[in-house]
Structure 1
Amino acid sequence: MKENKFLAIYNDLLLQIRKGAFQPNEKLPSENELSQQYRTSRETIRKALNLLSEHGYIQKIKGKGSIVLDVGKYDFPVSGLVSFKELAQKMNKPARTIVHELELIEPDEYIKRQLETENKEKVWKVIRAREIEGEKIILDKDFLCQKFVPILTRDICENSIYEYVENELKLRISFAKKEMFVDRVTAEDQKYLDLNGYEHVVVVKNFVYLEDASLFQFTESRHRLDKFRFVDFARRTHQPHLLP
Protein backbone atom coordinates (compact mmCIF):
# COMPACT_ATOMS: atom_id res chain seq x y z
CA MET A 1 0.00 0.00 0.00
CA LYS A 2 2.82 2.41 0.92
CA GLU A 3 4.50 1.58 -2.40
CA ASN A 4 1.34 2.53 -4.31
CA LYS A 5 0.98 5.71 -2.27
CA PHE A 6 4.44 7.13 -3.02
CA LEU A 7 4.11 6.25 -6.73
CA ALA A 8 0.72 7.98 -6.84
CA ILE A 9 2.27 11.09 -5.26
CA TYR A 10 5.22 10.93 -7.67
CA ASN A 11 2.87 10.74 -10.66
CA ASP A 12 0.71 13.58 -9.37
CA LEU A 13 3.69 15.88 -8.78
CA LEU A 14 5.15 14.91 -12.17
CA LEU A 15 1.86 15.78 -13.89
CA GLN A 16 1.86 19.19 -12.18
CA ILE A 17 5.46 19.85 -13.27
CA ARG A 18 4.69 18.86 -16.88
CA LYS A 19 1.56 21.04 -16.95
CA GLY A 20 3.54 24.02 -15.63
CA ALA A 21 1.92 24.26 -12.20
CA PHE A 22 5.52 24.31 -10.92
CA GLN A 23 7.87 26.36 -13.08
CA PRO A 24 11.60 25.68 -13.65
CA ASN A 25 13.70 26.94 -10.69
CA GLU A 26 10.58 27.10 -8.50
CA LYS A 27 10.71 25.39 -5.11
CA LEU A 28 8.29 22.58 -4.36
CA PRO A 29 6.38 22.67 -1.06
CA SER A 30 8.36 21.31 1.88
CA GLU A 31 8.16 17.66 2.95
CA ASN A 32 5.98 18.71 5.89
CA GLU A 33 3.60 20.64 3.64
CA LEU A 34 3.39 17.78 1.16
CA SER A 35 2.81 15.20 3.90
CA GLN A 36 -0.14 17.29 5.15
CA GLN A 37 -1.44 17.83 1.61
CA TYR A 38 -1.33 14.11 0.74
CA ARG A 39 -2.17 12.94 4.28
CA THR A 40 0.81 10.63 4.50
CA SER A 41 4.18 10.30 6.24
CA ARG A 42 7.29 12.32 5.42
CA GLU A 43 9.02 9.03 4.58
CA THR A 44 6.50 8.40 1.79
CA ILE A 45 6.91 11.97 0.52
CA ARG A 46 10.69 11.57 0.61
CA LYS A 47 10.44 8.43 -1.58
CA ALA A 48 8.33 10.30 -4.14
CA LEU A 49 10.77 13.25 -4.17
CA ASN A 50 13.77 10.92 -4.50
CA LEU A 51 12.15 9.34 -7.56
CA LEU A 52 11.54 12.77 -9.11
CA SER A 53 15.20 13.60 -8.46
CA GLU A 54 16.45 10.33 -9.97
CA HIS A 55 14.45 10.98 -13.15
CA GLY A 56 15.78 14.52 -13.53
CA TYR A 57 12.66 16.52 -12.66
CA ILE A 58 13.87 18.12 -9.43
CA GLN A 59 17.18 18.80 -7.70
CA LYS A 60 17.48 18.67 -3.93
CA ILE A 61 19.66 21.56 -2.79
CA LYS A 62 20.83 21.78 0.79
CA GLY A 63 19.19 24.73 2.53
CA LYS A 64 16.80 25.39 -0.38
CA GLY A 65 14.65 22.29 -0.67
CA SER A 66 13.48 20.63 -3.87
CA ILE A 67 13.93 22.83 -6.96
CA VAL A 68 12.08 22.07 -10.18
CA LEU A 69 14.45 21.57 -13.11
CA ASP A 70 13.87 22.79 -16.63
CA VAL A 71 12.61 19.72 -18.46
CA GLY A 72 13.32 21.54 -21.71
CA LYS A 73 17.05 20.97 -21.28
CA TYR A 74 19.60 21.46 -24.02
CA ASP A 75 20.33 18.23 -25.85
CA PHE A 76 24.02 17.39 -25.78
CA PRO A 77 25.03 14.58 -28.19
CA VAL A 78 27.07 11.94 -26.39
CA SER A 79 28.23 10.08 -29.47
CA GLY A 80 28.66 13.14 -31.69
CA LEU A 81 31.83 15.18 -32.04
CA VAL A 82 30.73 18.80 -32.40
CA SER A 83 32.19 22.13 -31.42
CA PHE A 84 30.42 24.48 -29.05
CA LYS A 85 29.90 26.89 -31.95
CA GLU A 86 28.13 24.18 -33.95
CA LEU A 87 26.04 23.19 -30.92
CA ALA A 88 25.02 26.82 -30.27
CA GLN A 89 24.02 27.30 -33.92
CA LYS A 90 21.92 24.15 -33.80
CA MET A 91 20.16 25.29 -30.60
CA ASN A 92 19.60 28.76 -32.08
CA LYS A 93 20.22 30.35 -28.68
CA PRO A 94 22.32 33.44 -27.90
CA ALA A 95 25.72 32.10 -26.88
CA ARG A 96 29.30 33.25 -26.40
CA THR A 97 32.67 31.89 -25.33
CA ILE A 98 34.77 33.60 -22.65
CA VAL A 99 38.48 32.77 -22.72
CA HIS A 100 39.95 32.88 -19.20
CA GLU A 101 43.33 31.25 -19.85
CA LEU A 102 45.43 30.64 -22.94
CA GLU A 103 49.04 29.59 -22.50
CA LEU A 104 51.68 27.20 -23.79
CA ILE A 105 52.76 24.99 -20.90
CA GLU A 106 54.98 22.11 -19.97
CA PRO A 107 52.29 19.63 -18.94
CA ASP A 108 52.23 17.98 -15.55
CA GLU A 109 52.26 14.19 -15.22
CA TYR A 110 48.46 13.94 -15.32
CA ILE A 111 48.14 15.81 -18.64
CA LYS A 112 51.10 13.89 -20.08
CA ARG A 113 49.30 10.63 -19.35
CA GLN A 114 46.03 11.86 -20.87
CA LEU A 115 47.71 13.06 -24.08
CA GLU A 116 50.39 10.36 -24.16
CA THR A 117 53.06 13.01 -24.79
CA GLU A 118 56.83 12.80 -24.58
CA ASN A 119 58.73 14.61 -21.83
CA LYS A 120 59.74 17.72 -23.78
CA GLU A 121 56.52 18.24 -25.72
CA LYS A 122 54.59 21.42 -24.94
CA VAL A 123 50.84 21.69 -24.73
CA TRP A 124 48.32 24.49 -25.19
CA LYS A 125 46.14 25.03 -22.13
CA VAL A 126 42.82 26.75 -22.80
CA ILE A 127 40.22 27.49 -20.11
CA ARG A 128 36.90 28.71 -21.51
CA ALA A 129 33.46 29.39 -20.04
CA ARG A 130 30.49 28.79 -22.34
CA GLU A 131 27.55 31.12 -21.92
CA ILE A 132 24.06 30.29 -23.23
CA GLU A 133 21.18 32.74 -22.85
CA GLY A 134 23.19 34.86 -20.43
CA GLU A 135 24.25 32.04 -18.09
CA LYS A 136 27.73 30.53 -17.92
CA ILE A 137 26.89 26.82 -17.73
CA ILE A 138 29.88 24.97 -19.27
CA LEU A 139 33.53 25.14 -18.27
CA ASP A 140 35.84 23.68 -20.93
CA LYS A 141 39.43 22.85 -20.00
CA ASP A 142 41.27 22.02 -23.24
CA PHE A 143 44.79 20.69 -23.68
CA LEU A 144 46.15 20.47 -27.25
CA CYS A 145 49.51 19.16 -28.45
CA GLN A 146 51.62 21.98 -29.91
CA LYS A 147 53.14 19.64 -32.49
CA PHE A 148 49.71 19.50 -34.15
CA VAL A 149 48.58 23.06 -33.35
CA PRO A 150 51.70 25.27 -33.52
CA ILE A 151 49.84 28.57 -33.06
CA LEU A 152 46.73 29.36 -31.05
CA THR A 153 45.26 32.82 -30.40
CA ARG A 154 42.52 34.22 -28.18
CA ASP A 155 40.43 35.05 -31.26
CA ILE A 156 40.61 31.44 -32.44
CA CYS A 157 39.60 30.17 -28.99
CA GLU A 158 36.67 32.59 -28.80
CA ASN A 159 35.43 31.50 -32.21
CA SER A 160 36.10 27.76 -32.73
CA ILE A 161 39.29 25.74 -32.32
CA TYR A 162 37.85 22.92 -34.44
CA GLU A 163 37.03 25.32 -37.26
CA TYR A 164 40.61 26.61 -37.17
CA VAL A 165 42.15 23.13 -37.03
CA GLU A 166 40.09 21.85 -39.96
CA ASN A 167 39.91 24.93 -42.21
CA GLU A 168 43.27 26.61 -41.56
CA LEU A 169 45.57 23.78 -40.47
CA LYS A 170 43.86 21.33 -42.84
CA LEU A 171 43.80 18.57 -40.22
CA ARG A 172 40.93 16.13 -40.18
CA ILE A 173 39.35 15.44 -36.78
CA SER A 174 38.12 11.88 -36.88
CA PHE A 175 36.85 10.41 -33.62
CA ALA A 176 36.83 10.72 -29.83
CA LYS A 177 36.69 8.52 -26.75
CA LYS A 178 34.49 9.88 -23.98
CA GLU A 179 34.08 9.37 -20.26
CA MET A 180 31.17 10.78 -18.25
CA PHE A 181 30.65 11.13 -14.52
CA VAL A 182 29.20 13.43 -11.87
CA ASP A 183 31.63 15.45 -9.74
CA ARG A 184 31.35 17.92 -6.88
CA VAL A 185 31.90 21.53 -7.89
CA THR A 186 35.41 22.88 -7.51
CA ALA A 187 36.73 26.34 -6.66
CA GLU A 188 37.39 26.76 -10.39
CA ASP A 189 33.75 25.90 -11.20
CA GLN A 190 32.60 28.44 -8.63
CA LYS A 191 34.89 31.07 -10.11
CA TYR A 192 33.86 30.71 -13.75
CA LEU A 193 30.33 29.27 -13.77
CA ASP A 194 26.88 30.50 -12.74
CA LEU A 195 26.15 27.50 -10.52
CA ASN A 196 22.86 28.78 -9.09
CA GLY A 197 23.38 26.82 -5.87
CA TYR A 198 24.11 23.45 -7.46
CA GLU A 199 26.82 21.41 -5.77
CA HIS A 200 27.56 18.97 -8.59
CA VAL A 201 28.43 19.13 -12.28
CA VAL A 202 28.36 16.58 -15.09
CA VAL A 203 31.89 16.02 -16.40
CA VAL A 204 32.62 14.79 -19.93
CA LYS A 205 36.23 13.86 -20.68
CA ASN A 206 37.08 13.83 -24.40
CA PHE A 207 40.14 12.23 -25.98
CA VAL A 208 40.08 13.53 -29.56
CA TYR A 209 41.95 11.89 -32.44
CA LEU A 210 42.93 12.93 -35.94
CA GLU A 211 42.35 10.84 -39.06
CA ASP A 212 45.68 9.04 -38.63
CA ALA A 213 44.65 8.07 -35.06
CA SER A 214 46.98 10.64 -33.47
CA LEU A 215 45.68 11.87 -30.12
CA PHE A 216 45.84 15.66 -30.35
CA GLN A 217 43.41 16.97 -27.71
CA PHE A 218 42.24 16.17 -24.21
CA THR A 219 39.26 18.10 -22.86
CA GLU A 220 37.49 18.11 -19.52
CA SER A 221 34.09 19.69 -20.06
CA ARG A 222 32.13 20.53 -16.90
CA HIS A 223 28.37 21.11 -17.31
CA ARG A 224 25.85 22.55 -14.87
CA LEU A 225 23.69 19.51 -14.33
CA ASP A 226 20.26 21.14 -14.59
CA LYS A 227 20.85 22.52 -18.08
CA PHE A 228 21.70 19.51 -20.23
CA ARG A 229 20.19 16.24 -21.29
CA PHE A 230 22.85 13.89 -22.68
CA VAL A 231 21.42 11.98 -25.61
CA ASP A 232 22.62 9.12 -27.74
CA PHE A 233 21.32 6.80 -30.43
CA ALA A 234 21.94 3.10 -30.07
CA ARG A 235 21.24 0.30 -32.47
CA ARG A 236 21.19 -3.36 -31.51
CA THR A 237 23.45 -5.47 -33.68
CA HIS A 238 21.83 -8.79 -34.41
CA GLN A 239 24.07 -11.80 -34.19
CA PRO A 240 23.93 -14.21 -37.13
CA HIS A 241 21.96 -17.37 -36.47
CA LEU A 242 24.23 -20.29 -35.87
CA LEU A 243 23.41 -23.61 -37.40
CA PRO A 244 22.97 -26.43 -34.91
Structure 2
Amino acid sequence: MNKKNKYYDIYLELETKILDGSYRAGELLPSEHELSKQFEVSRETIRKALVLLLENGFIQKLQGKGSVVIDRERYAFPVSGLTSFKELHKAQNMNAVTKVIKNEYETLPEDVRHYVSLKKGAKAWHIERIRYLEGEAVILDKDFLLDTDIQAIDNSILEDSLYSYLEGQLGYEISYAQKEITVELVTDEDRALLDLYHDTHIVVVRSAVFLKDTCLFQYTESRHRLDRFRFIDFARRR
Protein backbone atom coordinates (compact mmCIF):
# COMPACT_ATOMS: atom_id res chain seq x y z
CA MET A 1 0.00 0.00 0.00
CA ASN A 2 1.32 3.42 -1.01
CA LYS A 3 2.11 5.15 2.29
CA LYS A 4 1.71 8.59 0.76
CA ASN A 5 -1.83 7.95 -0.52
CA LYS A 6 -3.09 5.30 1.88
CA TYR A 7 -6.63 6.66 1.88
CA TYR A 8 -6.84 6.42 -1.93
CA ASP A 9 -5.55 2.84 -1.92
CA ILE A 10 -8.17 1.99 0.69
CA TYR A 11 -10.83 3.71 -1.42
CA LEU A 12 -9.84 1.60 -4.45
CA GLU A 13 -9.92 -1.62 -2.44
CA LEU A 14 -13.35 -0.86 -1.00
CA GLU A 15 -14.61 0.23 -4.43
CA THR A 16 -13.48 -3.10 -5.89
CA LYS A 17 -15.28 -5.02 -3.15
CA ILE A 18 -18.47 -3.08 -3.84
CA LEU A 19 -18.24 -3.63 -7.60
CA ASP A 20 -17.54 -7.36 -7.29
CA GLY A 21 -20.39 -7.86 -4.83
CA SER A 22 -18.33 -8.53 -1.72
CA TYR A 23 -20.29 -5.63 -0.21
CA ARG A 24 -23.84 -5.67 -1.56
CA ALA A 25 -26.33 -2.85 -2.09
CA GLY A 26 -28.04 -1.98 1.19
CA GLU A 27 -25.28 -3.58 3.28
CA LEU A 28 -23.37 -1.58 5.88
CA LEU A 29 -19.61 -1.31 5.51
CA PRO A 30 -17.53 -2.18 8.59
CA SER A 31 -17.30 0.69 11.07
CA GLU A 32 -14.50 3.27 10.90
CA HIS A 33 -12.94 1.58 13.92
CA GLU A 34 -13.07 -1.86 12.27
CA LEU A 35 -11.67 -0.54 8.99
CA SER A 36 -8.84 1.30 10.74
CA LYS A 37 -7.84 -1.98 12.44
CA GLN A 38 -8.21 -3.94 9.18
CA PHE A 39 -6.01 -1.55 7.16
CA GLU A 40 -3.77 -0.57 10.11
CA VAL A 41 -4.30 3.16 9.58
CA SER A 42 -5.84 6.02 11.54
CA ARG A 43 -9.58 6.67 11.54
CA GLU A 44 -8.87 10.00 9.80
CA THR A 45 -7.36 8.08 6.86
CA ILE A 46 -10.44 5.84 6.76
CA ARG A 47 -12.71 8.91 6.78
CA LYS A 48 -10.90 10.30 3.72
CA ALA A 49 -11.44 7.02 1.88
CA LEU A 50 -15.13 6.98 2.83
CA VAL A 51 -15.56 10.56 1.61
CA LEU A 52 -14.28 9.47 -1.81
CA LEU A 53 -16.74 6.56 -1.84
CA LEU A 54 -19.53 8.98 -0.93
CA GLU A 55 -18.59 11.54 -3.59
CA ASN A 56 -18.39 8.86 -6.27
CA GLY A 57 -21.81 7.44 -5.45
CA PHE A 58 -20.82 4.13 -3.85
CA ILE A 59 -22.07 4.73 -0.32
CA GLN A 60 -24.46 6.89 1.66
CA LYS A 61 -23.93 7.94 5.26
CA LEU A 62 -26.76 7.02 7.62
CA GLN A 63 -26.74 8.96 10.86
CA GLY A 64 -26.17 6.67 13.81
CA LYS A 65 -25.65 3.60 11.61
CA GLY A 66 -22.64 4.11 9.36
CA SER A 67 -21.95 3.77 5.63
CA VAL A 68 -24.42 1.83 3.52
CA VAL A 69 -23.65 0.60 -0.01
CA ILE A 70 -25.80 2.27 -2.67
CA ASP A 71 -27.57 0.32 -5.41
CA ARG A 72 -25.51 0.95 -8.57
CA GLU A 73 -28.46 0.08 -10.84
CA ARG A 74 -29.51 3.69 -11.24
CA TYR A 75 -30.94 5.80 -14.03
CA ALA A 76 -28.31 7.32 -16.33
CA PHE A 77 -28.34 11.10 -16.25
CA PRO A 78 -26.26 12.58 -19.12
CA VAL A 79 -23.88 15.31 -18.00
CA SER A 80 -22.81 16.66 -21.38
CA GLY A 81 -26.23 16.67 -23.04
CA LEU A 82 -29.14 19.07 -22.68
CA THR A 83 -32.03 16.67 -22.23
CA SER A 84 -35.46 17.39 -20.80
CA PHE A 85 -36.78 15.22 -18.00
CA LYS A 86 -39.59 13.95 -20.23
CA GLU A 87 -37.08 12.91 -22.91
CA LEU A 88 -35.00 11.20 -20.23
CA HIS A 89 -37.81 9.19 -18.67
CA LYS A 90 -39.17 8.18 -22.09
CA ALA A 91 -35.75 6.93 -23.21
CA GLN A 92 -35.24 4.90 -20.03
CA ASN A 93 -38.83 3.76 -19.44
CA MET A 94 -39.06 5.49 -16.08
CA ASN A 95 -42.30 5.32 -14.12
CA ALA A 96 -42.22 9.09 -13.61
CA VAL A 97 -44.68 11.79 -12.55
CA THR A 98 -44.10 15.55 -12.28
CA LYS A 99 -45.87 17.89 -9.86
CA VAL A 100 -45.64 21.69 -10.03
CA ILE A 101 -45.28 23.31 -6.60
CA LYS A 102 -44.40 26.86 -7.70
CA ASN A 103 -45.09 28.95 -10.81
CA GLU A 104 -44.62 32.66 -10.12
CA TYR A 105 -43.07 35.76 -11.70
CA GLU A 106 -40.77 37.25 -9.08
CA THR A 107 -37.46 38.92 -8.28
CA LEU A 108 -34.51 36.56 -8.61
CA PRO A 109 -33.08 35.26 -5.33
CA GLU A 110 -29.65 36.79 -4.67
CA ASP A 111 -27.72 33.53 -5.09
CA VAL A 112 -29.31 32.94 -8.50
CA ARG A 113 -28.82 36.57 -9.57
CA HIS A 114 -25.11 36.35 -8.73
CA TYR A 115 -24.76 33.00 -10.52
CA VAL A 116 -26.13 34.40 -13.79
CA SER A 117 -24.61 37.90 -13.30
CA LEU A 118 -27.81 39.90 -13.70
CA LYS A 119 -28.61 43.32 -12.25
CA LYS A 120 -30.18 43.69 -8.83
CA GLY A 121 -33.96 43.54 -9.03
CA ALA A 122 -34.01 41.33 -12.14
CA LYS A 123 -37.16 39.22 -12.42
CA ALA A 124 -37.97 35.83 -13.92
CA TRP A 125 -40.57 33.10 -13.97
CA HIS A 126 -39.70 30.90 -11.00
CA ILE A 127 -40.91 27.35 -11.53
CA GLU A 128 -40.40 24.49 -9.08
CA ARG A 129 -41.30 20.89 -9.82
CA ILE A 130 -40.98 17.63 -7.91
CA ARG A 131 -40.15 14.54 -9.95
CA TYR A 132 -41.54 11.25 -8.67
CA LEU A 133 -40.04 7.88 -9.68
CA GLU A 134 -41.88 4.74 -8.67
CA GLY A 135 -43.99 6.92 -6.38
CA GLU A 136 -41.02 8.44 -4.53
CA ALA A 137 -40.09 12.14 -4.67
CA VAL A 138 -36.45 11.98 -5.81
CA ILE A 139 -35.75 15.23 -7.72
CA LEU A 140 -36.49 18.87 -6.93
CA ASP A 141 -36.16 21.01 -10.07
CA LYS A 142 -35.95 24.79 -9.79
CA ASP A 143 -36.16 26.74 -13.06
CA PHE A 144 -35.81 30.47 -13.63
CA LEU A 145 -36.87 31.59 -17.14
CA LEU A 146 -34.95 34.80 -17.71
CA ASP A 147 -36.46 36.07 -20.98
CA THR A 148 -38.75 38.99 -20.09
CA ASP A 149 -41.01 38.22 -23.08
CA ILE A 150 -42.18 34.90 -21.65
CA GLN A 151 -45.75 34.92 -20.37
CA ALA A 152 -47.32 32.66 -17.76
CA ILE A 153 -47.18 28.95 -18.60
CA ASP A 154 -49.97 26.67 -17.47
CA ASN A 155 -49.10 24.02 -14.88
CA SER A 156 -50.39 21.26 -17.17
CA ILE A 157 -47.66 22.18 -19.68
CA LEU A 158 -45.00 22.26 -16.97
CA GLU A 159 -46.06 18.82 -15.77
CA ASP A 160 -45.72 17.49 -19.31
CA SER A 161 -42.67 19.08 -21.01
CA LEU A 162 -41.49 22.67 -20.66
CA TYR A 163 -38.89 22.33 -23.44
CA SER A 164 -41.41 20.84 -25.91
CA TYR A 165 -43.60 23.87 -25.35
CA LEU A 166 -40.79 26.43 -25.53
CA GLU A 167 -39.33 24.94 -28.71
CA GLY A 168 -42.45 23.61 -30.43
CA GLN A 169 -44.97 26.31 -29.54
CA LEU A 170 -42.92 29.44 -28.82
CA GLY A 171 -40.08 28.82 -31.25
CA TYR A 172 -37.13 29.15 -28.86
CA GLU A 173 -33.87 27.61 -30.12
CA ILE A 174 -32.33 26.19 -26.94
CA SER A 175 -28.72 25.42 -27.75
CA TYR A 176 -26.26 24.73 -24.91
CA ALA A 177 -25.64 24.92 -21.18
CA GLN A 178 -22.81 25.41 -18.71
CA LYS A 179 -23.21 22.88 -15.91
CA GLU A 180 -21.86 22.52 -12.40
CA ILE A 181 -22.32 19.30 -10.41
CA THR A 182 -21.71 19.12 -6.67
CA VAL A 183 -22.50 16.82 -3.75
CA GLU A 184 -23.96 18.92 -0.94
CA LEU A 185 -25.48 18.52 2.49
CA VAL A 186 -29.24 18.01 2.50
CA THR A 187 -31.21 21.15 3.41
CA ASP A 188 -34.41 21.46 5.44
CA GLU A 189 -36.24 22.20 2.19
CA ASP A 190 -34.88 19.00 0.61
CA ARG A 191 -36.12 16.98 3.58
CA ALA A 192 -39.55 18.61 3.46
CA LEU A 193 -40.10 18.03 -0.27
CA LEU A 194 -38.18 14.86 -1.14
CA ASP A 195 -38.23 11.28 0.14
CA LEU A 196 -34.69 11.25 1.52
CA TYR A 197 -35.08 9.00 4.57
CA HIS A 198 -31.72 9.13 6.40
CA ASP A 199 -29.73 10.63 3.49
CA THR A 200 -27.20 13.28 4.51
CA HIS A 201 -26.12 14.44 1.04
CA ILE A 202 -27.72 15.24 -2.31
CA VAL A 203 -26.43 15.72 -5.87
CA VAL A 204 -27.00 19.27 -7.14
CA VAL A 205 -26.78 20.13 -10.86
CA ARG A 206 -26.75 23.85 -11.64
CA SER A 207 -27.04 24.98 -15.26
CA ALA A 208 -26.96 28.27 -17.13
CA VAL A 209 -28.85 27.59 -20.38
CA PHE A 210 -28.28 29.60 -23.57
CA LEU A 211 -30.14 30.07 -26.84
CA LYS A 212 -28.63 29.60 -30.29
CA ASP A 213 -27.84 33.35 -30.42
CA THR A 214 -25.80 32.90 -27.14
CA CYS A 215 -28.41 34.81 -25.11
CA LEU A 216 -28.68 33.57 -21.49
CA PHE A 217 -32.17 32.14 -21.26
CA GLN A 218 -32.58 29.99 -18.16
CA TYR A 219 -31.03 29.04 -14.84
CA THR A 220 -31.83 25.61 -13.42
CA GLU A 221 -31.00 23.88 -10.18
CA SER A 222 -31.82 20.17 -9.97
CA ARG A 223 -31.46 18.42 -6.63
CA HIS A 224 -31.22 14.62 -6.99
CA ARG A 225 -31.40 11.84 -4.43
CA LEU A 226 -28.04 10.08 -4.54
CA ASP A 227 -29.17 6.49 -4.93
CA ARG A 228 -31.43 6.83 -7.99
CA PHE A 229 -29.07 8.27 -10.62
CA ARG A 230 -25.63 7.92 -12.11
CA PHE A 231 -24.17 10.88 -13.98
CA ILE A 232 -22.48 9.90 -17.22
CA ASP A 233 -20.36 11.60 -19.86
CA PHE A 234 -18.39 10.69 -22.96
CA ALA A 235 -14.76 11.81 -23.05
CA ARG A 236 -12.16 11.64 -25.79
CA ARG A 237 -8.46 12.27 -25.38
CA ARG A 238 -7.32 15.13 -27.60
TM-score band w.r.t. shorter chain: 0.7 to 0.9
Q: What SS does the corresponding residue of 2:25 show, helix, strand or coil?
A: coil
Computing the radius of gyration from Cα coordinates, the structure with the larger value is 1
Structure 1 residues 47 and 115: CA distance shift in structure 2, 3 A: closer
State the one-letter code of the partner of 1:76. F
Paired position in structure 2 for 1:73: 74
CA contact (8 A) 1:102 1:126 kept: yes
Does structure 1 residue 127 correspond to structure 2 residue 154? no
Whether 1:174 and 2:170 are equivalent positions in the alignment is no
Task: Give the gaps of 5 or more residues in structure 2.
Answer: none
Helix, strand or coil at the partner of 2:68: strand
Provide the residue aligned with 1:242 in structure 2: none
Could you give the per-residue CA deviations for residues 48-93 of structure 1, whole angstroms, max 9, x where no partner exists? 9736546532223231112111112222111100011111111112
When residues 167 and 200 of structure 1 are mapped into structure 2, their CA distance, relative to the original with a 3 A threshold, is: same
Aligned pairs for 1:7-22 within 5 A: 17-18=18-19, 20=21, 22=23
Structure 2 residue aligned with 1:227: 228
The answer as to whether partners of 1:32 and 1:42 remain within 8 angstroms in 2 is no
Supply the distance in 2 between the matched residues of 1:60 and 1:189 (Cα, whole angstroms): 16
Bigger relative contact order, structure 1 or 2 (CA pairs below 8 A, ≥6 apart) = 2
- Correspondence for 2:65: 64
User: Does 1:154 pair with 2:155?
Assistant: yes
CA RMSD of superposed structures (Å): 3.3
- Map of 1:241 onto structure 2: none
1:74-153 to structure 2, matched below 5 A, reads 74-117=75-118, 121-153=122-154
Write the distance in 1 (CA, Å) between the matches of 2:122 and 2:8. 57
Q: What's the counterpart of residue 236 of structure 1?
A: 237
Match of 2:203 in 1: 202
> Post-superposition shift, 1:209?
0.7
Determine the C-alpha separation between the residues in 1 that align with 2:57 and 2:122: 43
Q: Could you tell me which runs of 5 or more consecutive residues in structure 1 were left unpaired when the two chains were aligned.
A: 238-244
TM-score by length of 1: 0.79
CA contact (8 A) 2:10 2:46 kept: no
Tell me the number of residue pairs that the alignment of Structure 1 and Structure 2 aligns: 235
**Which stretch has the larger CA shift, 81-90 or 17-26?**
17-26
Give the 3-state SS of the residue equivalent to 1:113 in structure 2.
helix
Percent identity for Structure 1 against Structure 2: 45
TM-score of the pair, normalised by structure 2: 0.81
Change (3 A) 1:43 1:112: closer
Matched, 1:27 2:31: no
The alpha-carbon distance between structure 1 residues 14 and 145, as it changes in their structure 2 partners (threshold 3 A), is closer
Please tell me the residue identity of whatever aligns with 2:185: R
